[in-house]
A and B are shown apart, each in its own frame.
Chain A
Amino acid sequence: MKLKNIKLIVELTKAKIEILKLKADDYTWQCHVDSNTKDMLEKTLKDIDVQIESMRKEND
């Protein structure tokens, strides 16, 4: 796997962790994140998963 791809996967994973941490903060997620932002972050999570999966397959 190219170093560039590895770095990108790491960065995507870090971004994913940040979103998951925000979701795990029940109060912040439920009371301080509006529904549009929630939808956008949920979609971003899926996009990250798709992107990481495709990069892994590329390098198989």
Chain B
Amino acid sequence: MIKTNIKMRVTPEQSKKVQKICFENGATWRDGSQKLYSGANFMYLHGGDILYHGASNRIFENGDEQEIDADLFIRTNGTCEEELEGSEREEVSKSDVTYQNNSGERLEITKEYKNNFEEFGVEIPDNIDMYSYELKSKDKEGNIIGFVDGFATVWNKDGICKNTFAGIGSYHLTVIAKGWYEDANNIGKMLIKENSSLLLSFLRIEDKKLVALDLRNGREIVFVDKYSVRPATREEIEKLIIE
């Protein structure tokens, strides 16, 4: 389903693509037509799937609709929800990973299709797709093992990620409080995506959108709805601490 009650800045090329996606999903201009219009700098999609084009920057800036990046709208076919593509996920899961942590300790991760987190005292929620990685080194230093859709990631007790596999070595991850997205001091802290157990590091707010780091692969993800992620609670993280 395409996202509605949104506004987008568009180039002529983006405008055409946005319109095509909207029309394919049943949206129309106010008069019910679906003809392609190429002269707009701004596009609006309201509830009831009514599409508008606009020319005024001032009106655009002051509009109540949620601003969406046109490329994101196009890339996600209008849903505006970023997902890791299956081919990328497969590419990661095929390779065994060995890395060295900040203390010089070598840790090996090999792919194994079983739930072996339990031996570390880590409880796995039922909704996690259970292909996971086995941690060859049992860490007794109070480290945290994160799991992201089955991918393990390791942080030390100070919240520093030790897992170069995730590509986020220098990000400090700690539990943060309500209102996290309004406080620049929370940059780099740990978030969780609702209903997916996706762990993220908060990077910045850009054009009123939340930019976070996907801990699986170090890639930035732009969330158009900042409320679709929230701070990980202490309980959620404490579940992951090795006793």
Point out residues on A near B: beta carbons under 8 Å.
21, 24-28, 30-32
Q: Is B53 an interface residue (CB 8 A)?
A: yes
- The A contact surface, by secondary structure, is helix
Query: Which residues on the B side are within 8 Å of A28 (C-beta)?
Result: 54-56, 59
Query: By CB atoms of chain B within 10 A, which of A21, A25, A26, A31 has the most?
Result: A26
Point out residues on B near A: beta carbons under 8 Å.
29-30, 40, 42, 44, 46, 52-56, 59
3 closest A-B pairs by beta carbon, nearest first, are A27-B54, A27-B52, A25-B55
Residue of A nearest to B29 (CB): A26
Residue of A nearest to B51 (CB): A26
**Bound Cα distance A32, B150 (Å):** 49
Report whether A32 and B59 are in contact in the complex, using a CB–CB cutoff of 8 Å: yes
Query: Which residues on the B side are within 8 Å of A25 (C-beta)?
Result: 53-56, 59
A-B contact list, 25 entries, CB within 8 Å: A21-B55, A24-B55, A25-B53, A25-B54, A25-B55, A25-B59, A26-B29, A26-B30, A26-B40, A26-B52, A26-B54, A27-B42, A27-B44, A27-B52, A27-B53, A27-B54, A27-B56, A28-B54, A28-B55, A28-B56, A28-B59, A30-B52, A31-B44, A31-B52, A32-B59
**Bound Cα distance A37, B54 (Å):** 19
**Bound Cα distance A4, B75 (Å):** 57
Residue of B nearest to A32 (CB): B59
Closest chain B CB from A16 CB (angstroms): 17
**Bound Cα distance A25, B54 (Å):** 5
Residue of B nearest to A21 (CB): B55
**Bound Cα distance A28, B29 (Å):** 14
**Bound Cα distance A60, B54 (Å):** 40
Query: By CB atoms of chain B within 10 A, which of A21, A31, A32 has the most?
Result: A31
Residue of A nearest to B7 (CB): A27
Closest chain B CB from A57 CB (angstroms): 34
